[in-house]
Amino acid sequence: MKCPECHGNLVFLNRLEGEIICKKCGLVISQDQTRQGFVEWTPKWLSNWSEEDSDTLREWLTTLRTVSCQLNLPSFPYREEAARIIRLKKDILFRSQRFGKNKKEAVAALIHLVLRRYNKMRPLKEICQTLSLDHRQVMKYTWTMRKMGNLHRTFSAKDYLGKYGWKLTSDAALIQTVEQLLTSIRKKISGNPMSLAAGALYFVCKSKGIKISKDEIGEAFCISGRTVYSNERRIRKLMS
């Protein structure tokens, strides 16, 4: 049997009570014992709206579910945490005309912040490419939403190195050398930590004669090869 709303697969949570849940969209369905079909929707999840919710809240939650499906995000904890924040901060979010006119961009920014809180380092650029959104606009929304929602969570260059560096090499000694470099320059250079990690990796590879190109590093870190090169050049000048 399929979900009558999104046609996703259904899972029996409690066969005795007849409670069924959609594995894709998360709707909880009650089925009577006579098996005459689905008779009652029971929106127990925060991402599901109820009749008491306002039209604006319904629009936000619908956009959230659409974006989550496009990004292939699991319901727990990411989508439900984003839904919790929307409900909690709705007075602030709904007052913003910018967010109201561009709900998809605002929800993408919120999801990016939620992923960061759970140490799920998914680049904003990748999220925007998947959703066909303007990266610069979503970045501005991210900054604004971080301040108004107190959603601060930052990652260091080492975090990004550990996340993406292993895509390029399994050499633990190489990664350790890059980590030591990042530690030594941490207070001497500023910038995007992801770009700095990529630049440091490229710098060490070049100094050791390891043939990993800036474009290969850029692809692994979801940035351009030019950004990798510019950060490597900054580090090279600092080290010299």
Helix (H) / strand (E) element for 215: namely helix 214-221
Tell whether the model's pLDDT for residue 12 goes beyond 60. no
What tens digit of pLDDT does each residue of 192-209 get?
888 999 999 999 999 999
pLDDT computed for residue 215 by the predictor: 95
Q: Rounded to whole angstroms, how far apart are CA atoms 76 and 191?
A: 32
Fold designation for 157-239: Cyclin A; domain 1 (1.10.472)
| Confidence tier at 39 by pLDDT (50, 70, 90) | very low
- Annotate 160-212 with three-state secondary structure: HHHHHHHHCCCCHHHHHHHHHHHHHHCCCCCCCHHHHHHHHHHHHHHHHCCCC
pLDDT computed for residue 76 by the predictor: 76
pLDDT computed for residue 17 by the predictor: 44
Q: Rounded to whole angstroms, how far apart are CA atoms 152 and 174?
A: 31
Q: Which amino acid is at 210?
A: I
What tens digit of pLDDT does each residue of 145-154 get?
887 766 655 6
The hierarchical CATH code for the domain 55-149 is 1.10.472
What tens digit of pLDDT does each residue of 156-166 get?
888 888 878 88
Mean pLDDT over 228-237 rounds to: 95
| Confidence tier at 35 by pLDDT (50, 70, 90) | very low
Share of the chain above pLDDT 90, in %: 44
What tens digit of pLDDT does each residue of 163-179 get?
788 889 888 889 999 99
User: For residues 14 and 119, which has the higher predicted lDDT (pLDDT)?
Assistant: 119
Tally of CB atoms within 10 A around 190: 10
pLDDT computed for residue 34 by the predictor: 31
pTM of the model: 0.56
Matching fold, domains 55-149 and 157-239:
yes
Mean pLDDT computed over every residue of the chain: 83
Contact 112, 122 (CB under 8 A): yes
Domains of the chain, by residue range, sit at: 10-41, 55-149, 157-239
Alpha helix locations (H) across 20-134?
55-70, 80-88, 90-95, 97-101, 103-117, 124-131
